[in-house]
Structure 1
Amino acid sequence: MNKLKLALVATMVSMAAYGGLGMASASAQEVKTVPSVDLKRYAGKWYEIAKIPNSFQKKCISSTSAEYSARDDGMIDVVNRCKTADGMDEAKGVARVVPGSNNSKLEVRFAPAWLSWVPMVWGDYWIMDLDDQYTLATVGSPSREYLWILSRTPTISDEQYENALNNATKQGFDTARVVKSKP
């Protein structure tokens, strides 16, 4: 392969990896997580305040929450709930800690356990921001495709919301896509 073809291939690979030239600078910087998370304190119920819309929550119209509980095997049980037009919906899953992340990076699976060996059934759940009281968290993915603002209460102040959005913007997330969730 000559040098021109090699350079062209390298450019195309770079563009694909970074989602196009416009996103190269934001994507080149890895999403940063908090230094560490005490999973015992993080466990419990969290209310969704806002999110970047995604396909797996499209039926949710309000009252979206997630509940986390530690298991004896080191994994975390996850129960997501929301109100839909037909009543309440519930999805049960499991999360595992990414080794070396001090519990700030998790992988979550809602697929059946027998599929747990398939890498694509695990979704990234990176805790990017967490207040000292463990009452407000911003969670995202390294692809910047997913983002949630979570709280221990169904509502937060406008100032808290703006701070969470600003922190996500600084991490390269397209916060213009974020929508507030209905309590």
Structure 2
Amino acid sequence: MDKKQSLLALSAIAIGTAAYNILKPVKSNVAVVDDLDLDRYMGVWHEVARLDFFWEKDLTDVTATYTKLSNGKIQVINRGFDQKSKKWKQRIGKAKPLGDPKDGALKVSFFGPIYAGYNIVHIDEDYKYALIFGSNTDYMWILSRDVDVPENIKQKYVQYASRSGYATQKLVWTKHEQ
């Protein structure tokens, strides 16, 4: 590919990315928590369950670490152990509130300028357990500060997700073995 073709390809990608972000902005269509304390949310969360997708396929011991940055954004480090390759896998992204930082509606990106919804729909008063919905019903996570979660919390979150249209029978319950 010569310089002219490379420039055209890069221009097409830039225009496509801009159009995507303009025409399909991240929106929260679910009721999110409205009294979120972002500082308390920061730190390490263990994935308890998820609706599986390509990046997390075959992962155990999944954690998400959130760190508030000086520019107001949040660094996100997702990490898990790949059972097939027997290696740790990590992805670093960024997140930021969609509007009022007290609302649980954020957007997250692991692919440059393309963002997806990250909606905190339930969190307990001690910030030990959280239920997260994505931009659509394909993405859902139950998170905890510890790997062990009381059964009543799991059931509460699963029932809420089911009533909200999520295919909870497809949940992958994350193993923590490493």
- TM-score, L = length of structure 2: 0.77
> Which 4+ residue blocks in structure 1 deviate beyond 6 angstroms?
none
> How far does the alpha carbon of each residue in 1:99-139 deviate from its partner, in whole angstroms, 9 at most, with x for none?
1463401111112xxx42xxxx2111000110000000000
Compute the displacement of 1:155 (Å): 1.6
Counterpart-to-counterpart distance in 1, 2:46 and 2:101: 24
1:138 aligned residue (128, 131, 134): 131
The alpha-carbon deviation at position 159 of structure 1 amounts to 1.6
Distance 1:132 1:166 in 2: 19
- Greater CA deviation, 72-81 or 85-94? 85-94
Amino acid at match of 2:133: G
Partner of 1:179: 172
Query: Unaligned 5+ residue runs, structure 1?
Result: 1-29
Distance 1:129 1:171 in 2: 13
Q: Aligned partners of 1:137, 1:65: CA distance in 2, in Å?
A: 13
Which residue matches 1:41? 40
**TM superposition shift of 1:95:** 0.4
User: How far has the Cα of 1:59 moved from its partner?
Assistant: 4.0
Q: Does 1:94 align with 2:94?
A: yes
Match of 1:67 in 2: 65
% same residue = 27
Residue-by-residue CA offset, 1:14-55 (whole Å, 9 max, x unaligned): xxxxxxxxxxxxxxxx42111121110000000000001111
* Counterpart residue identity of residue 105, structure 1: A
In structure 2, what is the equivalent of residue 15 of structure 1? none
Alignment root-mean-square deviation, CA: 1.4
Q: Check conservation: 2:38, 2:102, Cα contact below 8 A.
A: no
Which residue in 2 is equivalent to 1:151?
144
Partner SS, residue 148 of structure 1 = strand
Structure 2, unmatched stretches of 5+, are 1-28
Aligned position for 2:77: 79
8 Å Cα contact 2:75/2:92 also seen in 1: yes
Q: Secondary structure at the match of 1:110?
A: strand
Deviation, 1:171, is: 1.8
Q: Say if 1:77 and 1:92, in contact at 8 Å, map to a contact too.
A: yes
The residue aligned with 2:5 is none
Does structure 2 conserve the Cα–Cα contact (< 8 Å) formed by 1:47 and 1:154? Answer: yes
- Number of aligned positions between the proteins: 146
Q: Residue deviations 1:64-104, cap 9 Å, x none?
A: 00000101111000001101133111111110110146340
Q: Tell me what 1:57 maps to.
A: 56
Letter of the 1:47 partner, please give it.
H
Aligned-partner residue type, residue 92 of structure 1: I
